[in-house]
Structure 1
Amino acid sequence: MTTGFFFDEYCFWHGGGNYAQMAPVGGLIQPIAGGGGLPEDPETKRRLVNLMRITGLMDTVATRGAAPMTREDLLRVHPAPYLDAFAAASGDKGGELGMRAPFGPGGFEIAALSAGLVGDALDAVLSGDLDNAYALCRPPGHHALPETPNGFCLLANIALAIRRAQAAGMLGRVVVLDWDVHHGNGTEAIFAEDADVLTISIHQENNYPLDTGGFDTDATANLNIPLPPGSGHATYLAAMERLALPAMRAHAPDAVIVACGFDAALIDPLGRMLATAETFREMTAQVTALAEDICGGQVVMAHEGGYSEVYVPFCGHAVIAEMAGAAQVDDPFADAFRARQPGAGFEAFATARIDAMAAACGF
């Protein structure tokens, strides 16, 4: 098994919000600590890389960089007026062109690089160069709409990767499974009319965005699985087993791409869920096992949200180690988080909701 790990230090230099700071961030000046005051800062990702180096996991994966997405590639999803406005603001002092998606100088180039990491990871897996791959991209992408950045997301990383692979004749049918705690509204909207792409989003109900993400019984093009706040390990696995996995199998994809956010973890500041590193490891095992059965194991993980500097590294490490068949490390939070899982009454309530959604979908 050869697992690729795609990352670039320059992506950690994206400064969401630094355009409003007095410091002249940009060029060779790195963003200030904490990413300028927004939760989407570089430390969660940088600490994941550091943990992988300390444990030796980095030595078991094939580390890769990537080239930025070209303008031709970007135009497959984003219209020219948006790209031009983004590039112009990036070349000046940064700004904010949408909702909750600020960027500093150089933001356009970094976002194109982030999309390139996902695109190159997908290409390497589809070509057989790698068995599977993880792209540690930043800024994230699953909220980005074609003409509007949204929720820390400036370019639609996964959608761009898919469109490029489709244009090259490398990809037919594909599933995008999104387990970020927030609804993957951008990815859903971009592929709403594409029967070859099934989008599935498991997210906290009524978190973000507030106007999307409701359950829809049509699981042939898009399946939203909104879970009640407080859902933990058992509920996430039930949602996978009863809804996500059957929908994936029915779609018969050539590859599976996971929008891999870790903000459903118990101590994340932007979520109210109770998932653990073990939750993400087991969901990864479920996905890779299904992919081995239906599409030759072709799985790509694209990093999305996750805002706990102390815990995201353990969640990411668990996922990547599972993909690579490498040794897991002890989760120092495991006992405390296990003790805080929902009780039997909540699990029965949540499972009943999942069963009702599954029945409505015919699973």
Structure 2
Amino acid sequence: MATGFYSHADCLLHEMGQWHPECPARLQAIEDQLIASRIDPLIERESAPLAEMSALARVHTQAHIDYIKSQSPTEGYAQIDPDTSMNPHTWQAALRSAGAAVAATDAVIAGRYDNAFCSVRPPGHHAEPARAMGFCFFNNVAIAARHALEVHGLARVAIVDFDVHHGNGTEAAFAGEERVLMCSFFQHPFYPYSGAENAAPNMVNVPVAARTKGMAIRELVDMMWLPRLHEFKPEMIFVSAGFDAHREDDLGNLGLVEDDYAWMTEQIREIAKRYARGRIVSCLEGGYNLSALGRSVVAHVRALAEL
């Protein structure tokens, strides 16, 4: 299978301070592991374009877009919330991240690639329609999913989120939207302390306790995600690919390993093959232990590309 790999050097320029775990070294760790694993020559690299304002506006309010742009500093940092800030390059990096997701969607729907992975930052799944939070400014996956629905006219898209944190922004964007099915698990109780109660019918939210290991996650995917995905028959699948549920990642407290990410990706791939012509666009979310992140992304991309 042909797998596109979208990234851009601008995504390395956004940083929120030397102490911050969501750092440029995350993308460098992925690159290092791609080279070490020798799969780098087997993926097709693409440069992420800047997202158009119209793409952002399909998910975010104009007031939110204007606010983020207005906060962009000429030097130093602009604090957006206690753990989210902008430097002079953040605005451009955020547009590249969203632009990668949109461009990957266009390329996969056009048949240039079977699927694609967007190695981008800042991440997106905490960004709500009118609020930036949790390291996120614009919701890359939500923007891509809305692009598939509104621009390409797809009837049904699924979003799978396996980050350790609940994708509150994605849920806020699509709760009650019959054309979208969102499946996720997340550590609970845990930041952002959402997702465990009163979910809309199109949300398959599975809160799990700290220290849950990979086999238990595989069981819940098998029992709770896959039947709903088969029933829904998505025409395209979007993945919020967070790797902070890895057992080596200190920002969460779950027990997944690389094989678990590969297995989940294989299940998603089989659903996509059956109903969606194989179409998957995956976007990087969390993952803060650099070694575990790089190894897990390689496992995920290998499974996407069937290598």
Question: 1:88: Cα distance to partner?
Answer: 2.1
Match of 1:117 in 2: 100
- In the alignment, the residues of structure 1 paired with residue 301 and residue 166 of structure 2 have an alpha-carbon distance, to the nearest angstrom, of 23
Match of 1:82 in 2: 64
2:61 corresponds to 1:73: no
Question: 1:165: Cα distance to partner?
Answer: 2.5
Question: 1:45: Cα distance to partner?
Answer: 2.0
2:264 to 262, 275, 283: 283
Q: Is 1:202–1:226's contact at 8 Å kept on the other side of the alignment?
A: yes
Structure 1 residues 343-363: Cα deviation after superposition (integer angstroms, max 9, x where no partner): xxxxxxxxxxxxxxxxxxxxx
2:210 corresponds to 1:229: yes
With over 3 angstroms needed to count, the CA separation of the structure-2 counterparts of 1:228 and 1:285, relative to structure 1, is: same
Return the TM-score normalized by structure 2: 0.95
Structure 1 residues 91-140: Cα deviation after superposition (integer angstroms, max 9, x where no partner): 43341234522121121111011111111111111111110111112000
Q: Is 1:281–1:318's contact at 8 Å kept on the other side of the alignment?
A: yes
Question: 1:215: Cα distance to partner?
Answer: 5.3
- In the alignment, the residues of structure 2 paired with residue 68 and residue 172 of structure 1 have an alpha-carbon distance, to the nearest angstrom, of 26
Match of 1:337 in 2: none
Identity of aligned residues (%): 30
How many equivalent residue pairs? 306
Aligned to 1:198, what secondary structure does the other structure show?
Answer: strand
Match of 2:230 in 1: 249
Q: Is 2:108–2:279's contact at 8 Å kept on the other side of the alignment?
A: yes
Q: Is 1:135–1:301's contact at 8 Å kept on the other side of the alignment?
A: yes
2:42 corresponds to 1:63: no
Q: Is 1:67–1:117's contact at 8 Å kept on the other side of the alignment?
A: yes
2:21 corresponds to 1:39: yes
Q: Is 2:10–2:89's contact at 8 Å kept on the other side of the alignment?
A: no
Question: What is the root-mean-square deviation of aligned Cα atoms in Å?
Answer: 1.5
Aligned to 1:96, what secondary structure does the other structure show?
Answer: strand
Structure 1 residues 219-250: Cα deviation after superposition (integer angstroms, max 9, x where no partner): x4111101111111101100110001111111
- In the alignment, the residues of structure 2 paired with residue 60 and residue 297 of structure 1 have an alpha-carbon distance, to the nearest angstrom, of 18
Structure having the higher strand fraction is: 2
- The residue correspondences of 1:69-218 to structure 2 (distance < 5 A) are 69-93=51-75, 94-210=77-193, 212-214=194-196
- In the alignment, the residues of structure 2 paired with residue 171 and residue 92 of structure 1 have an alpha-carbon distance, to the nearest angstrom, of 40
Q: Is 1:89–1:105's contact at 8 Å kept on the other side of the alignment?
A: no
* Letter in structure 1 aligned against 2:84: A
- In the alignment, the residues of structure 2 paired with residue 165 and residue 45 of structure 1 have an alpha-carbon distance, to the nearest angstrom, of 26
- The residue correspondences of 1:248-267 to structure 2 (distance < 5 A) are 248-267=229-248
With over 3 angstroms needed to count, the CA separation of the structure-2 counterparts of 1:292 and 1:258, relative to structure 1, is: same
- In the alignment, the residues of structure 2 paired with residue 114 and residue 74 of structure 1 have an alpha-carbon distance, to the nearest angstrom, of 11
- In the alignment, the residues of structure 2 paired with residue 279 and residue 69 of structure 1 have an alpha-carbon distance, to the nearest angstrom, of 32
- In the alignment, the residues of structure 2 paired with residue 2 and residue 294 of structure 1 have an alpha-carbon distance, to the nearest angstrom, of 18
2:290 corresponds to 1:313: no
Structure 1 residues 34-55: Cα deviation after superposition (integer angstroms, max 9, x where no partner): xx21111121221111221233
Match of 1:342 in 2: none
Question: 1:320: Cα distance to partner?
Answer: 0.4
Larger Rg: 1
Structure 1 residues 254-306: Cα deviation after superposition (integer angstroms, max 9, x where no partner): 01111000000001111000100011011111111121112111111111000
- In the alignment, the residues of structure 2 paired with residue 170 and residue 131 of structure 1 have an alpha-carbon distance, to the nearest angstrom, of 19
- In the alignment, the residues of structure 2 paired with residue 49 and residue 170 of structure 1 have an alpha-carbon distance, to the nearest angstrom, of 34
Q: Is 1:99–1:149's contact at 8 Å kept on the other side of the alignment?
A: no
Q: Is 1:260–1:304's contact at 8 Å kept on the other side of the alignment?
A: yes
* Letter in structure 2 aligned against 1:182: H
Aligned to 1:312, what secondary structure does the other structure show?
Answer: helix
Q: Is 1:126–1:170's contact at 8 Å kept on the other side of the alignment?
A: no
Return the TM-score normalized by structure 1: 0.81
Question: 1:216: Cα distance to partner?
Answer: 5.2
